[in-house]
Chain A
Amino acid sequence: MTRDTDAIEARGLTKRFGTEIAVDGLDLTVEHGTVYGFLGPNGAGKTTTMRMLTSLMRPTDGEAWINGNPVSDRGSIRASVGYLPEEPPVFDELTGREQLEYFGRLRDLPAAEMETRITDWLNRFGLTDDADKRIDDYSKGMRQKIGLIQALLHEPDVVFLDEPTSGLDPRAARTVLDVIAELTDDGHTVFLSTHILSVVEELADVVGVLYEGDLVTEGSPTELTARMEAEEGTTLEDVFLSVTAERGPAASGSAPGNTGDATDRQDGRIENQ
């Protein structure tokens, strides 16, 4: 069933591993051409959510759609999805260029166009000189760049990025942020999972905070910080610490931003003002 709706839509998305609930009835909507900043502490269920949204993991309950196509039908979303997993998807024995050619061929890109795109991206990320060295000799950041390029190589409509700036030096991280901004300018949608709040603050149109499988708050960075305006100089970090502290081990009140005023629901959700 095709739905003529948003870039990403999830309704009641749930994942259980045995008795443990990793993601609990997640509802979210991401509009075309926006960046969705997906935040959450370690183990909150971010990667599980991304895997379900990219069809790589079957939800226990609920459904999701990419460009109106159900993720339960992987074939219908493949062409429109690009995915950078947490661990860079590379083979150590290949060179960077060969790795990208591999993914380009798997995507069935025309050979000449593939070569052009690979050359352009390698140049963009400053990897041209190292493109013909084996990935075995690459640094963590260089591997991450290759992973990122493969996610963008087929020019997908919706890009899922799991910690895209992990391991990158400031200059390379800046390139990634610029690329993400350009992608949304061109109408692409980016679903961005990261721990680096400044990245989300800078890029995201909408921010969602996942905590123990629940989407505990959602809104634009401005909206979220405005909800805590009682605090002087409130930042997204304060919001994050507040909404994730309610049920966490640090809920002693000593955590910065844990005012107790901002959260008025038992499950830690911030009510929309």
Chain B
Amino acid sequence: MTRAKRPRLIARTELRRRWRTMKGNTTQLLALAFAGVMLLPFSVGGVFGAYLAGGFVAGSETEPLIEWARMAFVYGWIFVAGFGGYRAYAVALRPDNLDGLLTTVSHRDVIGGLVLTELVLWSALFLTVGSAATVAFAVGAGSLLTIPALLLTLCLLLVTGIPAGFIIALGVRNAGVRSRLLSRLRTLFLVLLGIGYFALIFTNAFASVLEPIYRVLAPTPIDWFGDLAATGLGIGASPLRAIGAVGFTGAFVVVAVASLYRLAEWLWYADGVHITYETERSDDGSSRLNGLSEVLSQPVFGVVAVDWKRARRSPISLSFALYPLIVLAGPIVTAAQTGEIGTRLPLWILLSGTWVAGSLFALNVVGQEGAALPVTLLSEVPERSLVIGHVLSGALLIAPVTVAATVIAGVLSPHSVPVVASLGVSALVLSAVSGAIGTGIGVGFPRFEAVSVSRSRKAIVPSAFAFAIHSVAVLVVALPTVIAHSGIAGHALASVLGVNRLVIGLSGTLVSAVFACLVGIVSMYVARDRVRNYRLG
């Protein structure tokens, strides 16, 4: 086999493997179909926009147009290199059976195959929609020469952007495997990065990050792609810069290939740092758990202790607990921007805390035992220790935080102190009972297989069905509290019924508490029964 064929074979196998994996995963297929449906209007809109833009360009010969074209392609390059780099770091550079590949072919073939895989994947999206938009733009502009020029520019953008992304990803990973500090603090860095990313999204501050990068790249030949794309449009594109863009791409590819080979070799054959986690018996949290061991039975205490230790040592495995940030971020940003906390924020905190308390440990009671499940099932009364233990793990950890955060936000909001107290009681009951509600749902829809929660770690997290049903259950049991404590509905109910606002709040708390307890008891009963009679096949 010639050397050029091996990367092609690796790429073809990777694509086939990923396609088969995706075909076998209904959730992933549905997500892809959903994304396709959601993106379709944008794609059609983009093509139509390209047509309109073509018409606009044809009617004007002003200097800023070529500047806009250059800027657009620099930002496009940043997008390709950025997302290409992220994908390389998170997915592409960790193919299954890497050791097998590296002992069969050279690292050059492997990295070549992986880059080729990403190029094909990106091309599938970029060039289909891009081609349609290119033709629409050319028709709008009335310049057929624009079609090959734009298509060529898109190709060059991918051919330079994707390898650039790989180089960045390889650089980061090389630093990671060599630096003891980075290895040790990897989880912290990832969490900070995630928080930063969400902060950028919710504060619309992307421009403030992208602009400095643009300023760095604008004086480079990447700026010339705009001239190549605008060839034939008559908006002042420089032919010299257009030719330079092609020449630059050739030179970049040569340098990139050499860099990729070297960086891949450094990474895959590295004697990376190895962190051995040794736990001093005095520092394993035992002292803090001692109080609990005196209150709880030995098996239940064992489950709580293990839940907390595993959570502390591998918090990334519980990253799904950050999902509520998606709903909490909006109200928090609004509160930060306006300097005022409305009546809704305490309710959002209560709902989020209740959801987290229930889903953290109790939503996959059977599945999260993993390989230990056969042994756990043969232990003394596992139905009691597992169900009660996992419920307590979440409740003891999250309920105090939820109550404190709800009450603090409530005190700072326009709610009166008695209403805040009522809200606090709701937060306490709901977050304490949420795990009980989750147990029955979790045993009904367990997940046994581990899923990737980060680039290097897999964990068994609750199933999508369990998350969905638990979310609905939490919303339903919390609804009376939410209605009774929301500004408008609470006041409206009070005036319609002619009673004090506090009475409405307390009624909502009482109904929610009773409802949650009933659902929790039934759910725990179901969970206990399922665990007691659980069979492996």
Interface residues of A (CB under 8 A from B): 15, 17, 48, 51, 54-58, 74-75, 78-79, 81-83, 85, 87-95, 97-98, 101-109, 111, 132-134, 136-137, 150-151
Verify A105–B298 contact, CB threshold 8 A: yes
Inter-chain contacts of A111 with B (CB < 8 A): 298
B377 an interface residue at 8 Å Cβ cutoff?
A: yes
Residues of chain B with a CB closer than 8 A to A75's CB: 381
* Of the residues B277, B281, B310, contact of A91 by C-beta under 8 Å: B310
Provide the residues of chain B in CB contact with A132, threshold 8 Å: 278-281
B374 A85 Cβ-Cβ under 8 A = yes
CA of A54 to CA of B317 in the docked complex: distance in angstroms? 31
Q: What distance in Å separates the Cβ of A122 from its nearest Cβ neighbour in chain B?
A: 13
Contact A58 B535 (CB under 8 A): yes
Q: When the two chains form their complex, are residues B277 and A137 in contact, meaning their CB atoms are under 8 A apart?
A: yes
Chain A-chain B contacts (Cβ-Cβ < 8 Å), number? 113
Cβ of B143 to closest chain A Cβ, rounded Å: 61
Q: Assess the B278–A55 pair: CB atoms within 8 A.
A: no
- B379–A51 touching, CB < 8 Å: no
Taken together as a complex, chains A and B put the C-alpha atoms of A56 and B537 apart, in Å, by: 8
Partner of A106, one of B278, B317, B371, B385: B385
Complex Cα–Cα for A108 and B301 (A): 10
Interface of A is mostly: mixed
Q: Which of A106, A136, A150 contacts B302 (CB 8 A)?
A: A106
Known: A17-B537, A98-B284, A134-B313. A107 touches B371 (CB 8 A): no
Give me 28 A-to-B residue pairs in the complex whose CB atoms sit less than 8 angstroms apart, sorted by A's number: A17-B537, A55-B535, A56-B378, A56-B536, A57-B536, A58-B535, A78-B380, A79-B380, A82-B378, A83-B378, A92-B314, A98-B279, A98-B309, A103-B379, A105-B298, A105-B301, A105-B302, A106-B379, A106-B380, A106-B382, A107-B299, A108-B298, A109-B298, A132-B279, A132-B280, A132-B281, A133-B279, A136-B277
Asked if B375 and A85 make an inter-chain contact with CB atoms under 8 angstroms apart, the answer reads: yes
Q: When chains A and B are docked, how far (Å) is the Cα of A205 from the Cα of B92? A: 53
Given A106-B382, A111-B298, residue A93 in contact with residue B536 (CB < 8 A): no
Instruction: Tell me if B499 is interfacial: C-beta within 8 Å of chain A.
Output: no
Cβ of B204 < 8 Å from any Cβ of A?
no
Q: How far is the CB of B387 from chain A (nearest CB, A)?
A: 13
Determine whether the beta carbon of B372 is less than 8 Å from that of A51.
Answer: no
**Complex CA distance for A107 and B297, rounded to whole angstroms:** 11
A134 touches B372 (CB 8 A): no
Main secondary structure of the interface of B (DSSP, over half): helix
B306 and A91 form a contact (CB under 8 A): yes
Q: In the bound complex, how far is the Cα of B297 from the Cα of A83, in angstroms?
A: 24
Check if B249 is an interface residue, CB within 8 A of chain A: no
Q: How far is the CB of B161 from chain A (nearest CB, A)?
A: 37
User: B369-395 interface mask toward A, CB cutoff 8 Å, 1 = contact, 0 = none?
Assistant: 011111111111110010000000000
Q: Give the contacting residue for B537; candidates A57, A103, A133; CB below 8 A.
A: A57
Shortest distance between the CB of A130 and any CB in chain B (Å): 9
Are B536 and A89 in contact, CB atoms less than 8 angstroms apart? no
Q: Which of A56, A89, A108 contacts B535 (CB 8 A)?
A: A56
Minimal beta-carbon separation of B99 from chain A (angstroms): 15
Assembly CA distance A147 to B374 (angstroms): 11
Known: A74-B532, A83-B374, A132-B280. 16 other contacts (CB 8 A): A15-B537, A54-B374, A55-B535, A58-B535, A82-B378, A83-B378, A90-B371, A90-B372, A104-B302, A105-B305, A106-B302, A106-B380, A106-B382, A133-B278, A137-B277, A150-B375
B:273-320 near A, CB below 8 Å: 276-281, 284, 297-299, 301-303, 305-306, 309-310, 313-314, 317
Whether B380 lies near A108 (C-beta < 8 A) is yes
Check B378–A93 contact: CB distance below 8 A.
no
CB nearest to B280 among chain A residues: A132
B306 and A102 form a contact (CB under 8 A): yes
Known: A105-B298, A106-B299. A98 touches B277 (CB 8 A): no
Asked if residues B378 and A78 are in contact (CB atoms below 8 Å), the reply is: yes
A142 to chain B, nearest CB (A): 13
Bound-complex Cα distance A51 to B377 (A): 11
Residues of A within 8 A of B378 (CB): 54-56, 74, 78, 81-83
Q: Which of A51, A89, A94, A95 contacts B375 (CB 8 A)?
A: A89
Tell me if A107 and B380 are in contact (CB < 8 A): yes
Contact A87 B371 (CB under 8 A): yes
Contact of B306 among A17, A98, A150, A151 (CB under 8 A): A98
Q: How far is the CB of B437 from chain A (nearest CB, A)?
A: 24
Roughly how many angstroms separate A264 CA and B90 CA in the complex, as a whole number? 59
Residues of B within 8 A of A106 (CB): 299, 302-303, 376, 379-380, 382, 385
Question: What residues on B are CB-neighbors of A91 within 8 Å?
Answer: 306, 310, 370, 372
* Chain A contacts for B299, CB-based, 8 A: 105-108
Select B310's contact among A58, A94, A108, A133, beta carbons within 8 Å.
A94
Using CB atoms, name the residue of chain B closest to A111: B298
Residues of A within 8 A of B306 (CB): 91, 94, 98, 102
- Write the chain B residue with the least CB distance to A147: B375
Residue of A nearest to B277 (CB): A134
A51-B536, A56-B536, A57-B535 known; A93-B377 Cβ under 8 A: no
Find chain B residues with CB under 8 A from A102 CB: 302, 305-306
Q: How far is the CB of B448 from chain A (nearest CB, A)?
A: 12
Q: Which residues of B contact A58 (CB under 8 A)?
A: 535
Cα distance A93–B316 in the bound complex, in angstroms: 12
User: Using Cβ atoms and an 8 Å threshold, which residues of chain B touch A54?
Assistant: 374, 378
Give Cα A117 to B379, complex, Å: 17
Residues of A within 8 A of B314 (CB): 92-93
Assess the B379–A107 pair: CB atoms within 8 A: yes
CA distance A137 to B279 in the complex (A): 12
Chain B min CB distance to A272 (Å): 33
For the complex of A and B, list the 8 residue pairs with the smallest distance between their C-beta atoms, beginning with the closest: A105-B302, A106-B379, A89-B372, A93-B310, A93-B313, A89-B375, A134-B277, A108-B380
Q: By CB atoms of chain B within 10 A, which of A17, A88, A95, A151 has the most? A: A95
Name the A residues within 8 Å of B375 (CB-CB). 83, 85, 89, 103, 150-151
